[in-house]
Structure 1
Amino acid sequence: MNSSIKKFIENISYTFLVNLLSVIISTILIIIVPKVVSVETYGYWQLYIFYTYIISFMSLGLSEGVYLRFGGCDYKSLNKPIFASQYWFLLMVNILVDFTFACIYSTYSTNSNKTLVVFLTCLAGVLIAPRSLLSLTLQTTNRIYEYSIAYILERAIYFVLVIVFLLLGIKNFVFLILSDIVGKICSVIYTIYTCKEIVFRRFPSIKKSLKEIKINISIGSKLLIANFASLFIVGSVRLLIDNNWSVETFGKVSLTLSISNMLMLFINAIGIVLFPSLRRMPEEKLPSFYNTMRTLIMVPLFGMLLLYFPAKMILSFWLPQYLDSFIYMTLLFPMCIFESKMLMLINTYLKTLRKEKALLLINLFTLFLSIVLSFINVYLLSSLNLTVLSITVVLAIRCIIAELYLSKLIDIKVKKDIIIELCCTAAFIALSWYLSLFKAGMTYLLVYLFYLVIKKGEIFALRNTFNLFFRKKLS
C-alpha cells in the first residue's frame, strides 16, 4: 500500500478511536451530570466551558500562523529553536494577561460564583493557549498519534475525576471545573514531553525570534479572527441568553447544544487529518476529492438526524427537569449538518488554498447577522425559541455562502445539492415541531429515503470508488 495512503488511513483510525472515546465520555457526562446536580450548578459548569472556548483565542494568531505556514512539513525539519521562543512567549503573555483580567474582574463583579468561574477560566487559559502551539504543530506535521494521545488523556482524566466527585457526593461546580483543569495539566505535561525538542531549547537571537513571531501572528491573525467570529456566531446568542434570562436557562440551552455538538466530533477529527494531506495533494485533484468527501459526509449526516427521535424520548424520561429544553433540540439538531460540512470540508479547503482572508470575511458577515437577529429576537420579540432557531439559520447561511465561494475556486457545481439539503433540513424542523414524536420520525424517515433515491448516483459512484481502491490494494 502507498505509504502516504497508509499514513492517512492510520491517522483517520487514530482520530476515529479517540473521538469515539470522547463521544462516549461526553454522552455519559451529558446523561449523568444534569441528573445529579442542580440546574444552577450545571449552568455555572457550562458557563466555564463556554469561557474556556473564548480564552483559547489568546494564542494571538501565533499558533494559527504556524499551522498555516508549516502545514504538511516534516516534524524533523522544523527550526525548533524558533518554535521554542514562540512557545515561551505565548506562556508569558498568557500568564500576564489572564491573571490581570481575573484581578480586574474580581474587583468589579458582584456575583461571587461568576467571579470564581472567571478566575478558574483564566487559570485554564494559561494552559490552553501555549499548548495550542504544540498541538497544532503536531497536527500540521502529521503526528496525529501523539496529538490523539494528548487529547484523550485530558478527556479521560476529566471524566474519571468528575465521576469520582459525584460518587463521593461532591456536586459543587468548582470540583467539576477543577476536574477539567487537572485533565488539561496532564495533557500539557504529555504534550511538552512529546515536543521536548521544541520546549527545552536555547532561543535564537531576540531580533530573529521577534521577526518570526511577527510573521506568524500576521499570517495567523486572519484565521484566528475567523475562528473567533465563528465561535461568536453561536457565542453571541449564548451571551445574550445568559444576560437576558437566568443561568438555569443558559444551562438548559447549553445542554441541547452539547448534544448537537457531539455529532460533529468525528467530522472535526477528519478535518484535522485532511489538512496536511490536502496540502500535499495536486491542485487538479481537489475538485473530485471534494465531491467524494461531500457525499461521504452528507448522506450519513442526514441519516443521523433520525437519532433525534429516540434521543429526545430517552432524555425526556431521564432528565425531566430539562424537559422544556428538549424543545430546542428540534431547532438545534440540524446545525450539525451545516457545521460538519463547514468544519471538515469548506474550512479545510479554504485553509489549504490559503483563502483565510475570505474565510474571515464570511465569518464576520455571519457574526454581524447573528448579532442583529439575536438583538431582535431577545430585546424586541423576547422569544427564546426564535433566538435558538437563529443559531441554525445563520450557520446555514454561512455554510451556503462559503460553499458557493469555494465552488467557484475549484470549479464544482453545488447549487442543486444545497437546495436539496435545505429542503430536507426544513422538513426535519417542521415535522419535529408540529407532529408527535412518532409521526415526525416516520415521516422524516420517508424524507430521508427519498433523499437517498435522489443521491443514488453519487452513492453508487462512491461505492465503486472504494471497491476499486481496495481491489487494487489487495491485488
Structure 2
Amino acid sequence: MNFKSLLSNLSVAIVAQGVSVVLSIISSLLVPKLLGVEEYGYWQLFLYYISYVGFFHLGLNDGVYLIFGGIPRDRIDKRNLNSQFWFGAAFQAVFAAIIIAIAVMGGFGADREFVLFWTAIFIVIQNLMNYLGYVFQAMNETKLFSYTTIVERLSFLVPLVLLLLTRQASYKPYVYAYFFSCSIGLLYCVYHARDFFSAGLLPVGQTVREGLGSIRVGIKLTLANIASTLILGVTRSIVDMVWGISAFGQLSFSISMVYFILNFIIQVSMVLFPALRQGTDKELRSFFVNSRDATDLLLPAFYILYFPVVWILSLWLPQYLESFKFFAYLIPVCVFDGKMNAISTTIFKVKRKETLLLAINFAAVGISAIGSFIGACLMRSVIVAIISAVIAIVGRSTFSELYIARSMGVEYGRALPYEICLTAAFVALCTQLSALYAAAIYIALYALYAFAFRRQFSELLGKIHGLFRS
C-alpha cells in the first residue's frame, strides 16, 4: 500500500470536506435566522428526503465501486461504465416520474408537493453525479472526487449569498440554489469523465446484464447505507408524524449539526477503501488496531467542543433553544457513528461483508424504531425517542468493533468500556447540571482518562510522527 499517495489523497479529502462542513455550518446558522420555524422545517424536510435518493440507484453505484475498485483509468472498462451510466439514468428517470405523479395527485398540500417534486429531480441529478464520483474513487482518483465536492459546495455559496443579502424568507429559492449547485457538480464530473463518454456504448442487452450485475453486487451495501441513515431517520419521521413540521425542524437542526461532522468522516473514509483493498491482510489488521486505538483515545475529547458551540448558537438562534436540548443527547452520534463509518464499515467493504453490515444496520434500525415509537407514541417524549436511536448507534459501533477484533485475532480495545462510560457521564452532566459545572467536571474526567492511558497516548503520537516522517 502506497502510504504517501494515501496521505496525499486524505489531505485533499480533508480540505474538500472541511470546505463542505464550513459552508454547511454557515448556511445552517444563517438560513434559520431568515426563515421562520415552519419554513425552515420544510427546508429541512427537503434535505431529509434527498438524503435517501441514493436508494433509487438500487445499488448500481455501490456495485460499480466494489467491482472496479482498485483498477486505474488506463485499464478500466470505459465502454462498460459509460453504458451503465445511461442505464442508471434511464431507470432512475422512471422512478422520478412516478414520484412526481404521486406528488401531484397525492393531495399532500402545496409545500409537501413542492418538496416531493424536487426530491424526484434530485434522484436523477444527484445519483448520476455520485455514480461518476464513485468511478473516480474506484480508480483511486480520490482527489478528483474531492475537487467535485469543493466545486459543488462553492456553487451553492454564490446563490446562497444572494438569497441572504436579499433576505429571502421562503425556503423555495434555497431549493433552487441547491439544484443549481448539484447540476454544476454533475457537469464537472461529466467533463472529467469525457473519455468514458467517448468510448461508445455496449449493446442494449449486454448493458442491461452488466447493470443488473452491478446492482446485484451493490444492493446489499446500498441497503446497509440507507439503513445506517434510517437509525436517526426513523426517529425524525416519527417526530414529524406525531408533533408536526415545527418539531421536526427543531430536531432536524440538531441532527444537521451532527451530520456535518459525520459526512466529513464518511467522505474522507471513502479514500481508504481503494487503498486498503490493494493492501495485505497484515496492513488491514494494522489499520484497524491503530485507527481503533486512536479514535478511542481522541474522540471523547470532541465532547468538550459541545459547551462553547451551544453557548454561541444559543446567542445567535434563541428561537432554537429547544433544539439545543436535543444536541446533548445527539453529540455521541458523532463519536460512535464516526468510528463505525471510518473503521468498521470500511473493513466490512474491503472484506466483502456487505450481508453482515446490512444485518447489523437493520438490527440497529429495529431498535431505534421500537424505541422511537414507544417514546413518541406511548410516552409522548422526544427525548426517549432520541435516546433510543443513540443507544442503537452506540450498540452497532461496539458490536462491529468487537466482531472485527475477534475475526482478525487481535485483542479488544481496552479503552472502549471507559469511552462508553465517559459518554454516559457527558450526557448526564449536560442534562442535569449548568453548562459551567458540566464542562469543568467533564474536562476533569477526560484528563483522568488521558492520564490512565498515557502510555497509549505516547505510542499514538510516536506512530503519527513516524508516519509523516516516512
- Interval containing the TM-score (normalised by the shorter chain): over 0.9
Match 1:362 to one of 332, 357, 360: 360
Match 1:30 to one of 28, 31, 41: 28
Structure 2 contact 17–149 (Cα < 8 Å) conserved: no
Match 2:42 to one of 41, 44, 51: 44
TM-fit CA distance, 1:263: 2.5
What is the match of residue 65 of structure 1?
Answer: 63
1:211-226 maps to which residues of 2 (within 5 A)? 211-226=209-224
Structure 1 contact 87–199 (Cα < 8 Å) conserved: no
Match 1:5 to one of 3, 9, 15: 3
Whichever residue aligns with residue 262 of structure 1, its letter is F
Aligned partners of 1:386 and 1:469: how far apart in 2?
A: 44
Give the alignment's TM-score, normalised by structure 1: 0.96
Whichever residue aligns with residue 462 of structure 2, its letter is N
Aligned partners of 1:466 and 1:170: how far apart in 2?
A: 47
Aligned partners of 2:189 and 2:211: how far apart in 1?
A: 21
Structure 2, unmatched stretches of 5+, are none
1:308-319 maps to which residues of 2 (within 5 A)? 308-319=306-317
State yes or no: 1:280 paired with 2:281.
Answer: no
What is the match of residue 440 of structure 2?
Answer: 442
Q: Secondary structure at the match of 2:70?
A: coil
Structure 1 contact 298–337 (Cα < 8 Å) conserved: no
Change (3 A) 1:207 1:54: same
What is the match of residue 17 of structure 1?
Answer: 15
TM-fit CA distance, 1:194: 0.8
Structure 1 contact 295–459 (Cα < 8 Å) conserved: no
- Which range moves more in the overlay, 94-103 or 453-462? 453-462
Deviations 1:288-317 (A, max 9, x none): 221211233333321111110011111111
Change (3 A) 1:282 1:100: same
Q: Secondary structure at the match of 1:263?
A: helix
Aligned partners of 1:274 and 1:79: how far apart in 2?
A: 22
Whichever residue aligns with residue 79 of structure 2, its letter is P
Aligned partners of 1:340 and 1:58: how far apart in 2?
A: 25
What is the match of residue 320 of structure 2?
Answer: 322
State yes or no: 1:164 paired with 2:158.
Answer: no
TM-fit CA distance, 1:470: 4.6
Aligned partners of 2:131 and 2:397: how far apart in 1?
A: 28
Q: Secondary structure at the match of 2:168?
A: coil
TM-fit CA distance, 1:175: 0.4
What is the match of residue 248 of structure 2?
Answer: 250
Aligned partners of 1:470 and 1:236: how far apart in 2?
A: 42
State yes or no: 1:390 paired with 2:385.
Answer: no
Whichever residue aligns with residue 126 of structure 2, its letter is I
Aligned partners of 1:43 and 1:34: how far apart in 2?
A: 9
Aligned partners of 1:131 and 1:468: how far apart in 2?
A: 38
Match 2:454 to one of 414, 436, 456: 456
Match 2:398 to one of 388, 397, 400: 400
Aligned partners of 1:379 and 1:160: how far apart in 2?
A: 42
Aligned partners of 1:170 and 1:132: how far apart in 2?
A: 30
Structure 1 contact 244–378 (Cα < 8 Å) conserved: yes
State yes or no: 1:234 paired with 2:232.
Answer: yes
State yes or no: 1:306 paired with 2:304.
Answer: yes
Deviations 1:257-315 (A, max 9, x none): 11122233442233111111111111022222212112333333211111100111111
1:121-136 maps to which residues of 2 (within 5 A)? 121-136=119-134
Aligned partners of 1:326 and 1:457: how far apart in 2?
A: 36
TM-fit CA distance, 1:386: 0.8
TM-fit CA distance, 1:248: 1.2
What is the match of residue 142 of structure 1?
Answer: 140
TM-fit CA distance, 1:173: 0.6
Match 1:183 to one of 158, 169, 181: 181
Match 2:104 to one of 99, 103, 106: 106
Deviations 1:127-159 (A, max 9, x none): 012222211111121111211111111111112
Q: Secondary structure at the match of 1:264?
A: helix
Whichever residue aligns with residue 418 of structure 1, its letter is L
Structure 1 contact 286–410 (Cα < 8 Å) conserved: no
Aligned partners of 2:157 and 2:387: how far apart in 1?
A: 31
TM-fit CA distance, 1:366: 1.1
TM-fit CA distance, 1:42: 0.8
Deviations 1:150-204 (A, max 9, x none): 1111111112212211211222111011111000000000001111122343212
Aligned partners of 2:156 and 2:364: how far apart in 1?
A: 34
Give the alignment's TM-score, normalised by structure 2: 0.97
Aligned partners of 1:452 and 1:78: how far apart in 2?
A: 47
Whichever residue aligns with residue 364 of structure 1, its letter is F
Whichever residue aligns with residue 94 of structure 2, its letter is L
Deviations 1:111-136 (A, max 9, x none): 11010011011111110122222111
TM-fit CA distance, 1:439: 0.2
Whichever residue aligns with residue 100 of structure 1, its letter is I
Structure 1 contact 287–411 (Cα < 8 Å) conserved: no
Deviations 1:306-352 (A, max 9, x none): 11001111111111111111100110011111110011000001101
TM-fit CA distance, 1:454: 2.5
Whichever residue aligns with residue 281 of structure 2, its letter is E
TM-fit CA distance, 1:415: 5.3
1:251-266 maps to which residues of 2 (within 5 A)? 251-266=249-264
Whichever residue aligns with residue 270 of structure 1, its letter is V
Aligned partners of 2:468 and 2:11: how far apart in 1?
A: 17
* Cα RMSD (Å): 1.5
Structure 1 contact 71–140 (Cα < 8 Å) conserved: yes
Aligned residues with identical type, % of pairs? 30
Aligned partners of 1:217 and 1:374: how far apart in 2?
A: 32
Change (3 A) 1:469 1:9: closer
What is the match of residue 341 of structure 1?
Answer: 339
Change (3 A) 1:436 1:183: same
How many aligned residue pairs are there? Answer: 470
- Which range moves more in the overlay, 312-321 or 4-13? 4-13
State yes or no: 1:77 paired with 2:75.
Answer: yes
Aligned partners of 1:385 and 1:23: how far apart in 2?
A: 27
- Which range moves more in the overlay, 195-204 or 83-92? 195-204
What is the match of residue 87 of structure 1?
Answer: 85
Whichever residue aligns with residue 126 of structure 1, its letter is V
Aligned partners of 1:418 and 1:223: how far apart in 2?
A: 27
Aligned partners of 1:352 and 1:110: how far apart in 2?
A: 43
Structure 2 contact 68–139 (Cα < 8 Å) conserved: yes
TM-fit CA distance, 1:43: 0.6
Change (3 A) 1:438 1:179: same
Structure 1 stretches of at least 4 aligned residues deviating more than 6 Å after TM superposition? none
